[in-house]
Amino acid sequence: MPYMLLYDTDSKTVQESPIRLPNEGEVAWVSLVSATPEEIERILTDTFHCHPLIVEDCVKLNQRPKLDRYEKHLLLTFFQANKDLSTIEIEHVIGPNYVITVTHQEVESLTQAVADFKHAAPRFMEFSGAILYRLLDRCVDDYADVTDKVENLIDGHERALFRNPNVRIAGDVFRLKRRLHTIRRILADEKAALAQLTHQQFPYTRQEADVYFVDLYDHISRVLDSIDAFRESLTGLLELQLNMKSDRMNEIMKTLTIVSSIFLPLTFLVGLYGMNFRIMPELQWKYGYAMVWVVMLLVAGGLWWYYKRKKWL
């Protein structure tokens, strides 16, 4: 349901108000969360006289992060990242003494920002730039939850892999890499947009507020670095699994080779005395059978000792 929080700079009070153009001495945040396309178009066009391209972008909500400048407004496209690594597009229309937020569904960061506006309006609603900073700050803070979620997923995959090198994680890893790629592309565009939010280029903020937008820029830069590290870790995880499987296969082949090499001379002895010649001296020997066993045990034991000495076992 669309509504507006109106801050009076003289009385330092904030109240909900029907959506209208703020007067001098008033600063407003307009929420168009879950509004219908007709409501969005009517409010942006009739009440705030936004450029048609702004109205089109807010109605369609199919943009990449960007900062567009128009004669009377700025349009900032930003994204909320959820713990399940899904993203929600949010459009912010910034005017001289108001910020309009448009999105198709409820967003946790906006709910937190509304609570801040109601309880500390003089701090967060003094001018348009302050409102925008609080909205973006709450959104960027949630990126930390995303990095924690990804870090826990990778840690779980690593533990599962060391317990069982044959565990099936390739599908999960590829899906996670694909989602991280999408989030990284979004964050890179948001970083570029934030780089433009200085008081020289952003007419509705103040010079002392630049440091806050720089802080958001640094925060996103750290998240981008974390995502790059996660992507490398996921690639390394798949390579590690392949190497562990290869090492396991090598161990199996070495064991089978050693067993085969021990039984090879024993098979020769058995085959030798299994030949059907009538004259074989050992066949009439009283202790021939026992002696063959002794020879085979000595050969097998000698080979085992030799392999052990060479550290092949």
Say if residue 280's pLDDT is above 90: no
Instruction: Examine the domain organization and report whether 179 and 140 are in the same domain.
Output: yes
**Out of 27-31, 133-137, 200-204, 225-229, least confident range:** 200-204
Of 243, 266, 296, the one marking the end of a domain is 243
Amino acid 191: pLDDT: 92
pLDDT digits (tens, 9 = 90+) for 188-232: 999 999 888 776 667 777 777 788 888 999 999 999 999 999 888
What gap in Å lies between CA 66 and CA 61, rounded to an integer? 12
Of 194, 226, 243, the one marking the end of a domain is 243
Instruction: Examine the domain organization and report whether 239 and 255 are in the same domain.
Output: no
CA 19 to chain centre: 38
**79-93 average pLDDT score:** 90
Q: What is the CATH number of the domain that holds 288?
A: 1.20.58
Of 220, 243, 266, the one marking the end of a domain is 243
Instruction: Examine the domain organization and report whether 233 and 115 are in the same domain.
Output: yes
Say if residue 83's pLDDT is above 70: yes
Instruction: Examine the domain organization and report whether 172 and 67 are in the same domain.
Output: yes
Question: H or E segment at 212?
Answer: helix 210-272
Instruction: Examine the domain organization and report whether 153 and 207 are in the same domain.
Output: yes
Question: H or E segment at 279?
Answer: none
Range of the domain at 93: 3-243
Say if residue 244's pLDDT is above 80: no
Using pLDDT thresholds of 50, 70 and 90, give the confidence band for residue 6: very high
Instruction: Examine the domain organization and report whether 78 and 111 are in the same domain.
Output: yes
Instruction: Examine the domain organization and report whether 238 and 256 are in the same domain.
Output: no
- pTM, two decimal places: 0.77
Domain count, the chain: 2
Amino acid 307: pLDDT: 81
pLDDT digits (tens, 9 = 90+) for 151-197: 888 888 888 887 887 778 878 888 888 888 999 999 999 999 988 87
Say if residue 309's pLDDT is above 80: yes
98-103/26-33 β-pairing:
parallel
Instruction: Examine the domain organization and report whether 210 and 123 are in the same domain.
Output: yes
Instruction: Examine the domain organization and report whether 206 and 290 are in the same domain.
Output: no
Instruction: Examine the domain organization and report whether 87 and 116 are in the same domain.
Output: yes
Amino acid 28: pLDDT: 93
Instruction: Examine the domain organization and report whether 233 and 260 are in the same domain.
Output: no
Amino acid 200: pLDDT: 64
Using pLDDT thresholds of 50, 70 and 90, give the confidence band for residue 75: very high
Instruction: Examine the domain organization and report whether 226 and 297 are in the same domain.
Output: no
Q: What is the CATH number of the domain that holds 145?
A: 3.30.460.20
Question: H or E segment at 8?
Answer: strand 3-8
What gap in Å lies between CA 165 and CA 151, rounded to an integer? 20
What gap in Å lies between CA 125 and CA 294, rounded to an integer? 96
